[in-house]
Homo-oligomer: A and B are copies of this chain.
């Protein structure tokens, strides 16, 4: 870029940070991980270190701030309002991540969501980041069956449907839901013992399976 422009040292440079909206499901409610900050609860974040990639900084933020390791995230967008941080000029790349509750330490603090919004204010522009993160997760879950492994390696279709109902904040009829995801999962012979009623078969994700376009439209109805 910028061929022939001023050299790299001519201008003050911004600090570049990463923030990660880690989403999870607790008691049938979508939640986001928050950490304490001087300005109130905030998403875990970190400044980009020299030579570091954004993904590595995001990883570092999660490890040091929330004790979360080995998880995937996606770029949501750069938040670049020059006044978004009173401490100075700080750009922040927002990331989204999804992780099962069991992978989070018991000490992690969660804020519940209502649809795509948080139920309480967050610091900086982090509420907007969370909203974008939920949209991103919905898109990803519309293309594949639970790609972030919120459920374990195997699951019943009821568990899968309940998960999608939480993520999309709306109910789905069981038979239509089943037929939309049927080609992207494969039944193990095993069954789940739920207690009441006929045991449900356990399914696993079909590797490489992509949900049809219609499934994504169905989830959004």
- Chain A positions near chain B (C-beta within 8 angstroms): 1-8, 11-19, 35-39, 42-55, 61, 75, 77-78, 80-82, 85, 87-93, 123-124, 126, 213-214, 216-217, 220
Contact = CB atoms under 8 A, between A and B. Distances in A.
18 contacts: A1-B19, A1-B43, A1-B44, A1-B92, A1-B126, A2-B47, A3-B38, A5-B47, A11-B15, A14-B48, A52-B82, A53-B80, A54-B78, A55-B80, A75-B77, A78-B78, A78-B93, A213-B220
* Smallest CB-CB A-B distances: 8 pairs: A1-B45, A3-B37, A13-B13, A213-B217, A1-B19, A1-B17, A51-B82, A2-B45
Given A52-B82, A75-B77, A213-B213, A8 B15 contact: yes
A124 B55 CA distance: 20
Contacts of A14: 13, 16, 48, 50
**Most B-side CB within 10 Å, residue of A1, A3, A90:** A1
Interface of A is mostly: loop
A15 B15 contact: no
Nearest to A37: B3
Nearest to A213: B217
A114 B203 CA distance: 41
Nearest to A13: B13
B61 A11 contact: no
A39 B7 CA distance: 15
Contacts of A82: 51-53
Given A48-B14, A50-B12, A1 B80 contact: no
A4 B37 contact: yes
Given A4-B38, A13-B16, 16 more contacts: A1-B42, A1-B126, A2-B45, A3-B39, A5-B46, A6-B47, A7-B87, A8-B88, A11-B48, A52-B82, A53-B81, A53-B82, A55-B80, A75-B78, A213-B216, A213-B217
